[in-house]
Structure 1
Amino acid sequence: MRAAVLREHGEPLDVTDVPEPTADPEGVVVDVEACGICRSDWHAWMGHGEWADDAVDPGQILGHEPAGRVVDVGERVETVEAGDRIALPFNLACGSCGYCQTGHGNVCTGEHPHGLGFSLDAQGAFAERVHLPSADYNAIHLPDGVDPRDVAALGCRFMTAYNALGARAGLGAGEWLAVHGCGGVGLSAIQVARVLGARVVAVDVRDAALDAAAELGAEVLVNAAADDAVAVVRDATGGGAHVSVDALGVAETCRNSVRCVRPRGTHVQVGLTTDEERGEVSLPTDWMTRHEVSFLGARGMPPTSADDLLSLLAAESVDPGALVTRTVALDEVPARLAAMTDYDTVGVEVLTF
């Protein structure tokens, strides 16, 4: 089969023939119909994560936001059959450790690797076919009639945003959310916030990204290249956002996000850092202590929570397809990944077969 393989960090992915995956006894093989192209793929391609023992090795097939049809089923799989249409979570889980059993499979500490497309024994979905381990736990069954392109856009972005705002931060109706960085996950956060009944301030340095945020329901737009983002957010929200998300992962957006919340507000870190920060950002900890500001992390979403999000998709309460600005063929993936270096993408781009 053909796949896009990382050979050297920062160099174009190699689109080439690779061996077909086979189903292990508890896994399934999926024909990939669509896979999102995510900034986390860009981080992996660039070699980021060494500071957290999380760098991706050469030889990796990237791609962690796939949807497709099951074509091969392991002998011990009970709940997935050939022909089923499923989505695959990037945060693979074993299904049996304490975290999985209590509904937190996104931070699984079991035997399987934690990142589809980020570990050599969990090859990704910039490929014609992909293997999913522990399928009874990890497989996300799709409602009838759902477009695989939309599911790929749902990918880790909507899943992460839904987990970050609902489960982690507890964002409520009528509250203010500030979103710093209006790429794929930031725009997803805006849609999720609107479903939860919250009001949104969108912060970015690109007018096109802010325009997209406005179309999705952001009430206040802040161009951080021209304005003091923290001051504008605090003024617009009457003293600060109840919840703020750093959806980019650079030091400035992280600190701005923390600083723009009101007393007893919550910052959620979603974006991963670059080699400028190397996983470390200095924070105003005395100020945070004085105002009882919470700092939370959010990583993907437990597979066991997927039905709640898919029900919103089926009911058309969220529309991940509205974020899709381009669909591409496998041969185009290397160039589209490289375009993220200079933020030369808007919305979500999706590989389709």
Structure 2
Amino acid sequence: MRAAVLREHGEPLSIEDAPEPTADPEGVVVEVEACGICRSDWHAWMGHGEWADDAVDPGQILGHEPAGRIVEAGDRVRTVAEGDRVALPFNLACGSCGYCRTGHGNVCTGDHPHALGFERSAQGAFAERVHLPSADYNALHLPDSVDSRDVAALGCRFMTAYNALNARAGLGAGEWVAVHGCGGVGLSAVQVARVLGARVVAVDVRESALDAAADLGAEVLVDASEADAVEEVRAVTDGGAHVSLDALGVAETCRNSVRCVRPRGAHVQVGLTTDEEKGEVSLPTDWMTRHEVSFLGARGMPPTSADDLLSLLASDAVDPGALVTREVSLDEIPDRLAAMSDYDTVGVEVMTF
């Protein structure tokens, strides 16, 4: 099969023939119909993450936001079958450890690859076919009415945004949320926040990103290249956001997000750091303590919670397809990853077959 393979960090992915995946007894092989192109793929391509023992090795097929149809199922698989349409979570889970059994499979600690497209034993979906282990736990059934392209846009970004705002921060109707960085996950957060009934302040330095946020329901736009983001957010929210989310992962946006929060509010970290921060950002901890500000992390979404989000998708309450700005072929993926180096992408780009 054809696939986009990482051969050298920072160099264009190699489009080449790769070994066909085969289903293990508890897994399935999925023929990929669509796969989102995410900034996490860019981090992997650049070789980031070694400071957390999380750098992706050469030889890896990237791609972690796929949807498609099962073409082979292992003999122990019971809940899905050949021909079923499914989405694959990037945070693969074993289904049997303590975290999985209590509904937190996104932080699974079982003896099992945890990140689709980021580990040699969990080759990704920038390919014609991909293997999904522990399919009875991980496979996400797709409603017939849902397009695979839209599910690929849902991907880790929408799932992460939903988990971050709904489950981790408990964002409520009428509350203010500040979204720092309006790329794929940031724009997903804007849409999720509006579905939850919240009011959104979108913060970015790009006019095109802010325009996209406005189209998705952001009530206030802050151009951080022209104004102090913290002062602006605190002013328009009458003392600070109830929840603030850093969707970019650089030190400045992380600290700004924390400082935007009102007393007893919550900051949620979604964006991963670059090789400049190397996983470490200094924070105003005394100020956070004084005002009882919570610092939360959010990684993907438990597979057991996906039905809630897929139901919203099927009912048109959320529209990840609205985030899609470009459909590309497998051959175009190397160039589209490179475009992320200069933030030369808007919204979500999706590979389709």
TM bucket (normalised to shorter chain) is over 0.9
Distance, in Å, in 2 between the alignment partners of 1:281 and 1:101 is: 33
1:341 equivalent in alignment to 2:346: no
Aligned to 1:212: 212
- Once superposed, which parts of structure 1, at least 4 consecutive aligned residues long, lie more than 2 Å away? none
Q: Secondary structure at the match of 1:202?
A: strand
Counting only pairs closer than 5 Å after superposition, residues 235-274 of structure 1 correspond to structure 2 as 235-274=235-274
Distance, in Å, in 1 between the alignment partners of 2:223 and 2:30 is: 42
Read off the aligned partner of 1:4 and give its amino acid letter.
A
1:330 equivalent in alignment to 2:337: no
1:191 equivalent in alignment to 2:186: no
Q: Secondary structure at the match of 2:166?
A: helix
1:107 equivalent in alignment to 2:104: no
Aligned to 2:118: 118
Question: Aligned-pair distance for 1:145?
Answer: 1.9
Aligned to 1:278: 278
CA RMSD of aligned residues (A): 0.3
Distance, in Å, in 2 between the alignment partners of 1:188 and 1:111 is: 31
Q: Secondary structure at the match of 2:34?
A: strand
Deviation track 1:245-289 (CA, whole Å, cap 9, x = no partner) reads 000000000000000000001000000000000000000000000
Question: Aligned-pair distance for 1:143?
Answer: 0.4
Distance, in Å, in 1 between the alignment partners of 2:258 and 2:114 is: 28
Q: Secondary structure at the match of 2:80?
A: coil
Distance, in Å, in 1 between the alignment partners of 2:168 and 2:324 is: 26
Read off the aligned partner of 1:50 and give its amino acid letter.
E
Aligned to 1:147: 147
Question: Aligned-pair distance for 1:111?
Answer: 1.1
Question: Aligned-pair distance for 1:72?
Answer: 0.3
Distance, in Å, in 2 between the alignment partners of 1:278 and 1:19 is: 34
Identity within the alignment, %: 86
Q: Secondary structure at the match of 2:202?
A: strand
1:25 equivalent in alignment to 2:41: no
Question: Aligned-pair distance for 1:133?
Answer: 0.2
Read off the aligned partner of 2:32 and give its amino acid letter.
V
Distance, in Å, in 2 between the alignment partners of 1:167 and 1:312 is: 15
Question: Aligned-pair distance for 1:90?
Answer: 0.0
Q: Secondary structure at the match of 1:213?
A: helix
Distance, in Å, in 2 between the alignment partners of 1:173 and 1:18 is: 48
TM-score by length of 1: 1.00
Question: Aligned-pair distance for 1:314?
Answer: 0.5
Aligned to 2:82: 82
Deviation track 1:75-129 (CA, whole Å, cap 9, x = no partner) reads 1101110000000000000000000000000000001111000000000000000
Aligned to 1:128: 128
Distance, in Å, in 2 between the alignment partners of 1:348 and 1:40 is: 13
Aligned to 2:40: 40
TM-score by length of 2: 1.00
Read off the aligned partner of 1:198 and give its amino acid letter.
A
Read off the aligned partner of 2:36 and give its amino acid letter.
G
Q: Secondary structure at the match of 1:83?
A: coil
Q: Which runs of 5 or more structure 2 residues have no equivalent in the other structure? A: none
**Count of aligned residue pairs for this structure pair:** 353
Aligned to 1:156: 156
Question: Aligned-pair distance for 1:66?
Answer: 0.1
Deviation track 1:301-343 (CA, whole Å, cap 9, x = no partner) reads 0000000000000010000000000000000000000100000
1:175 equivalent in alignment to 2:184: no
Distance, in Å, in 2 between the alignment partners of 1:316 and 1:18 is: 37
Aligned to 2:311: 311
Aligned to 1:58: 58
Distance, in Å, in 1 between the alignment partners of 2:322 and 2:344 is: 19
Read off the aligned partner of 1:252 and give its amino acid letter.
E
Distance, in Å, in 1 between the alignment partners of 2:147 and 2:137 is: 23
Read off the aligned partner of 2:117 and give its amino acid letter.
G
